[in-house]
Chain A
Amino acid sequence: MTDLNLLPLSGIAIVVLGFALRFNPLLVVTAAGIVTGWAVDMNFLALIETFGEKFMNSRQLASFLLILPVIALLERYGLQQRAQSWIASIKSATTARILSVYFVVRECSSALGLLSLAGQPQTVRPLLAPMALGAATNLHGELPKEVKDMISAHAAACDNIAMFFGEDIFIAFGAVLLMDAFLKENGITGIEPLHIGLWAIPTAIAALLVHLFRLARLEAKISREIAFYKSQPQTRLTEELS
């Protein structure tokens, strides 16, 4: 308790500060790395080597770049427009219903380990967001930019939340294996990955209920926002002109 060494925490302070001051995150993260290394007397060359090593070893994180060409091509030929007009042909489709159905399917499929079935670049941008927008346009006519953004952001949030809170049920998923390995390493025995997966279910159900409740109220919110922006034609006009 006596020699509390806070120097290794300096990087965290840089991250928080850099954020607050709205510096570019790449710059903040690099600065945090350099300051942390310097605070604990790391050799500068060794620090650069650590940078390079970790960057090299995490290259699989950039694999989403491979999905973009086909999405970009389809968009050039009208994928988003097609998604919108297809949804417009289904009379009962509303923004909230589309997002709710997607949420349930996404959470169940990720609980079965099918994480790559969907995602931000491959389903949200080309399909889900245009469909959610199409349903709202169908109901309300042309939408203000603010309302469009809100609906698109909800589409992105659905994908994230449904995937996150479904995935830990699947026992072969990295997070469950990580927790299992951690417990074994710390000498806590008698726990199987299956137990961890089972205890993920209550939160997964809570996530489903909480988010579906919010989506159920989304339609009313969209109507409210549209009424609000329609009541201020002046400000919108000046914004468009500027």
Chain B
Amino acid sequence: MSAPSNVVNTPPAIISIENIYLLIGFVVMFLVMRTLQDKGHPKKYSTALFWLLFGNVFLFGDLSISLLGKAITYQWVGVSVMIIALLAGFGRVSMGTYDTPSDEAKSHSAEKIGNKLFMPAVMIPIVTVICTLLLGDLNIDGWYIFDQRHLTLASLTLACGVALLIGWKFTSGSPIRALTESRRLVDSIGWAAILPQMLAMLGGVFIVAQTGTAIQDLVTLFISPDNRFMLVVLYCVGMALFTMIMGNAFAAFPVMTAGIAVPFLIQGHGASAAPLVAIGMYSGYCGTLMTPMAANFNIVPAALLDLKDKYQVIKVQIPTALTLLAINILLMYGVIFND
């Protein structure tokens, strides 16, 4: 192998993002196999198909791009995504049956192992931070251990591996056992695991369709460019609302800031840009706390914690979110104008 001629390319790494995707693919495929072996599973085949289509994208996505090209790969991935959505949409994805020990048995084992049981869980953040901060650029002759563009993710992957090994030592449960156990958690999260990627997809369509421009046009209809306070309210509330729809403040930020903040506040009233964008982004975060579209923050935890009401995390967050949104509006109005 010759050295890469193009210096812009990322240097080769052992834990590269491509290898992490392969690893995720293998994990998902293992779960598919276990699902098919689950005799009491009420929706065995459709649940397995759901995860198989998802796992394919990780296992064969990059390979397919290099063999068949981008267009064909994106097409089969796009079709897979639509089937995934249909399977989830018509309730064909569900929990299976799991061999879980009783609470008494778990308490007994907890007493036996003691506080060592915390070790693997605590090791995940510690190893991640050490690798990110200290070992990040470790390399032998240009071959890096961690992907330089995805340093945290690569470190996290290594940390999970280390934690699995420590867990094996303390509990005598092997990594295969751990993978088998994880099906219970993955199934309880279910379709919500895929929603963040689906929203990234919708964001992509919105960019092509120039939805942002349409929102700007619409917003200008309701604006009186002289009323500073209403402009601030519109920008902050708009950030929160659009974030709630997109599930992500980063998607709302360019649209709302280009539509309201830059023309009306910065250019129109000479507002300071730094506090304007900082507080504007935080107004978006208030929206993130109030929407099921931010699935990995709001819906996944509800599933992980076995909450009866899937919106309960959101409900707990709403009072803090609304208070902070009001504070943001007053703060922004108080600090951005210089005259």
With A62-B58, A65-B27, A116-B156 as contacts: A12 and B74 at CB distance below 8 Å: no
Say if the beta carbon of A27 comes within 8 Å of chain B: yes
B58: A residues at CB distance < 8 A: 59, 62
User: Would you call the interface of chain A mostly helix, strand, loop, or mixed?
Assistant: helix
Say if the beta carbon of B142 comes within 8 Å of chain A: no
Assess the B81–A30 pair: CB atoms within 8 A.
Answer: yes
With A72-B178, A206-B324 as contacts: A36 and B211 at CB distance below 8 Å: yes
User: Would you call the interface of chain B mostly helix, strand, loop, or mixed?
Assistant: helix
The minimal Cβ–Cβ distance linking A205 to chain B, given in whole angstroms, is 10
Say if the beta carbon of A227 comes within 8 Å of chain B: no
Assess the A30–B198 pair: CB atoms within 8 A.
Answer: yes
Once the chains are docked, how many angstroms separate the CA of A69 from the CA of B195? 21
Interface positions of A from 1 to 42, Cβ below 8 Å from B: 1, 4-9, 11-12, 15-16, 19, 23-27, 29-30, 32-33, 36-37, 39-40, 42
The minimal Cβ–Cβ distance linking A156 to chain B, given in whole angstroms, is 4
Assess the A191–B110 pair: CB atoms within 8 A.
Answer: no
B79: A residues at CB distance < 8 A: 48, 52
Please give the number of chain A residues whose Cβ is less than 8 angstroms from any Cβ of chain B in the complex. 118
Q: In the complex, which of the residues B76, B178, B214 contacts A9, with contact meaning CB atoms closer than 8 Å?
A: B214
Assess the B108–A78 pair: CB atoms within 8 A.
Answer: yes
Say if the beta carbon of B28 comes within 8 Å of chain A: yes
Please give the number of chain B residues whose Cβ is less than 8 angstroms from any Cβ of chain A in the complex. 147
Assess the A74–B117 pair: CB atoms within 8 A.
Answer: yes
Once the chains are docked, how many angstroms separate the CA of A195 from the CA of B272? 11
Once the chains are docked, how many angstroms separate the CA of A152 from the CA of B245? 26
Q: In the complex, which of the residues B91, B274, B302, B323 contacts A199, with contact meaning CB atoms closer than 8 Å?
A: B274
Assess the B74–A56 pair: CB atoms within 8 A.
Answer: yes
Say if the beta carbon of B250 comes within 8 Å of chain A: yes
Nearest-CB residue, chain B, relative to A145 = B308
Say if the beta carbon of B23 comes within 8 Å of chain A: yes
Contacting chain A: which of B4-12, B35-43, B225-233, B277-285? B277-285
B57: A residues at CB distance < 8 A: 55-56, 59
Interface positions of B from 103 to 153, Cβ below 8 Å from A: 103, 106-111, 113-115, 117-118, 120-121, 124-125, 128-129, 132, 150, 152-153
Q: Which of A29, A57, A195 has the most CB of B within 10 A?
A: A29
Q: In the complex, which of the residues A1, A37, A78 contacts B106, with contact meaning CB atoms closer than 8 Å?
A: A78
Could you show 24 A-B contacts with beta carbons less than 8 Å apart?
A11-B209, A19-B292, A23-B89, A25-B191, A27-B90, A29-B199, A36-B202, A52-B75, A54-B205, A55-B57, A55-B198, A58-B197, A58-B200, A64-B296, A77-B173, A78-B108, A81-B103, A120-B304, A121-B300, A124-B301, A156-B305, A160-B298, A165-B285, A207-B320
Binding site for A on B (CB under 8 A): 17, 20-21, 23-24, 27-28, 57-58, 61, 70-71, 73-82, 84-86, 88-91, 100-101, 103, 106-111, 113-115, 117-118, 120-121, 124-125, 128-129, 132, 150, 152-153, 155-157, 160, 163-164, 167, 171, 173, 175, 177-179, 181-186, 191-206, 208-211, 213-215, 217-218, 220-221, 245, 249-250, 253-254, 257-258, 262, 266, 273-275, 277-279, 281-282, 285, 288-289, 292-293, 295-298, 300-302, 304-309, 312-313, 315-317, 319-320, 323-324, 327-328, 331, 335
Task: A11-B211, A72-B184 are known; give 15 further A-B pairs, CB within 8 A.
Answer: A1-B217, A6-B218, A11-B205, A24-B85, A48-B82, A54-B204, A58-B200, A67-B124, A123-B121, A124-B304, A156-B305, A157-B289, A179-B278, A182-B277, A203-B279
